Amino acid sequence: MDNELREHRAKALVDNPLFQEAFDVLKEDLMSRWSNSGSADLQARESIWLAMRLLDRIHGHVTSIIETGHMNKILDEQHPLI
């Protein structure tokens, strides 16, 4: 898949309300689980923390595809021979 298509598909994902809702609902659920877990339940808290970091990484990866595509377009416009 070429970079322009990747950027287009990533943007469509990020702009999709269902995609954003999924992340919001999952984060809210994880935060609720974390705040309702006992302070002695370290394994559950660690699992929740890891799940939250994974959500952030997934969203960050999709966003980075969009940003990389945008930067490539700017580079092509400003320096077409590079």
Per-residue HEC secondary structure of 3-69 comes to HHHHHHHHHHHHHCHHHHHHHHHHHHHHHHHHHHCCCCCHHHHHHHHHHHHHHHHHHHHHHHHHHHH
Rounded percentage of the chain residues whose pLDDT exceeds 90: 71
pLDDT at 54: 96
Give residue-wise pLDDT tens across range 43-80.
999 999 999 999 999 999 999 999 887 777 777 778 77
pLDDT tens-place string over residues 17-47 = 999 999 999 999 999 999 999 989 999 999 9
